[in-house]
Every structure is written in C-alpha cells, then in structure tokens.
Homo-oligomer: A and B are copies of this chain.
Amino acid sequence: MPIRIAVDAMGGDYAPLEIVKGAVEAAKEYNIAIQLVGNEVQIKEELAKYDTAGLDIGITHTDEVIEMGEAPAKALRAKKKASIVLTVESVAKGESQGLVAAGSTGAAMAASLFGLGRLPGIKRPVICCTMPTAKNPIALLDGGANSDCDAEMLLEFAIMGKIFAQLILGYDNPRLGLMNIGEEEGKGNELAKATYNLLTTKKEQLNFIGNVEGRDTFTGDVHVIICDGFVGNVILKTAEGAFKMVTKLLKEQFKSSFVNMLIGLLAKSVFAGFKKRIDYEKIGGALLLGVKGVSVIAHGSSKAYAVKNAIRVAKEAVEKDVNTKIVEMYNESMKAND
C-alpha cells in the first residue's frame, strides 16, 4: 500500500486551487495516495481540472475552516470539524501516514500537538525549518513553536535537528551550532550561556561545534542551528525580508533606464539560476518535530509547487521514520546521563 498524505485543502492564501493542484502533482510524481480535507464541492471542482485517472486521491468533507487571523486555541475549541482538525485526525487514526497544512501555523501546530500527542520523552515539539545557504540547505530550529525556552528544551531541539539533518538533509555527521551573538564561550544571554554548557556535556554525540552568529546561517558550514522559537522566527522572517528587498532593489535598478532594461532581459536566465539557489518554494515546508506523526507546515503563501514539495517532505519523513529515530536517540542521550 502506498503512503497516504492528508492535505488540508482549505488552508493557505491560495486554497483550495493551488493546494489541490500541488496535491495532484505530488500524487503523480511521487506515486503516493492523497487525502484532501475540506469542502467536497470545491475540491471536486478543482480536481476536475486535471487528469487524475489512476491516482488515489480521497476526499474528507467538512465545511469548517480556521482562518489565518483566528486565535488557534479558541478556534480549535469552536470548530471541532475544522479542515486542519480532520487532516490531523486522518493521521491520528492511521488512515494517513503524514499531513501537510499551509493555513494558520498556530492552528496547524496546536491541532497536531493535541491530535497526535508528543513523542515519548519530548517535552516540546519544535518547528524544524530548512534554510537555503551558499552551499547546501541546513536546518534551523526552533522556527517559532516555543517563544520562551530553557536550555533543556534547546537540547531536545538539538537532538531532533541532528536526526532531521541526517535523515532528510543527508549529512552523515551534521555540525551543530548554537545561535549566539559572539563565538567565544561565555557570550550571549542567560539562555545561550546555559545552553552552551548543557550542549557541551554532549559535545561528541551532537557534534556540537559551539556558538555561531547570524551570518553563519547562510554559509552552509553549520548544518543544524539551534535557538529559541522567538529568535528563530525572527531569523526566518529577517532573511525573507532581506531577500525580498534585494529582489525589489535589483528590479528597480534594472528598470531605471532603457539600456538597463535591455541588460536585464539578457540577464534573465542568470537571475533564474540565482533564484533557484535560494528557492524557498522548493523547500516546501517545515517539519513539526516531536509529535507522534509526520506534520509538515507550509508557508501561507504556498502555491502548487511549494505544496507539492511540502508533500515530498512529509513522504520522506514517513519513509525514513524520523520519529522513531528521534525517540531512539533521545533515549540513548538520556542513558548517557545515567
């Protein structure tokens, strides 16, 4: 039986159109089954646009949707049949092996946590983001699940990040760094100092290379970067903003004269090559690690290509059994303390 991925068809800025399109593409390309969750009429309307012969695409109908602006906890209490809730339920019941959601991150996170539960030993699930770099992609966590953290939580993130970098990103022995504001020991805020000391006690096991700084996020020389969810979320969005500004300013510059416009046309393919290198859409989505099930959270602005890639991430996490490996490493790590 092929892997089945449940997809919240109603979540995201371009739902259900781009979500359904991406799901159909994923079903074809990865030879997997898809369970679309949402308004059946709308989903069928979208599906009718594509040749889905031979594809295993199921539909779970619901009329309820959690909108982007709603407070997650409150919305989940009020809408027991929300598309994100039923998407998670499909995994919790074992009907699907993983899920993808591009709607409200807070709702997806809360629904996954309540619906799937935590992995044994793990106190706090974490958003594990894949970042483009000048070399290969790396993992940054926490991407925003936990605003206030202690050192023990960051140690858990380190364990989960290591497994992710090994199994999904393909690093044999990923180099793990602690986000800080200087490289030397003793630098940083209270959390960074305490975490540095704790990670040092598991230096070899984690291949902990010490403190890293904001600029190390993009060199590709550090493969897993650990920080609290506040700092991680700020890094993600700062990088997004910086890349957007660069694109905007370059466009303005190439439009500033007729000659520049011609040069811009010539350079089009070069820019396309460049864009591919920092392609967030290819990354697809972030894995919520630490819950009992595979849950991929995609950007709210995801179009079909990003949705397809998010489904690929879910499929890989299922195939490589990321969760079991996390529990194994967590247990080993705890034993080492005895």
Contacts and interface: CB of A to CB of B under 8 A. Distances in A.
Contacts of A243: 242, 246
A157 to B, nearest CB: 16
B263 A242 contact: no
A218 to B, nearest CB: 4
B274 A233 contact: no
Interface string A67-88: 0010000000000000000000
Interface string A196-233: 00000000000000000111111100000001111101
Identical copies of this chain, number = 2
A96 to B, nearest CB: 29
The secondary-structure label for the interface of chain A is helix
Contacts of A245: 133-134, 218-219, 278
Contact of A246 (B219, B233, B248, B278): B278
A218 B244 contact: yes
A331 interface: no
Interface of A: 69, 133-134, 144, 147-148, 179, 181, 184, 188-190, 192, 213-219, 227-231, 233-246, 248-250, 253-254, 256, 260, 263-264, 266-267, 270-271, 273-274, 277-278
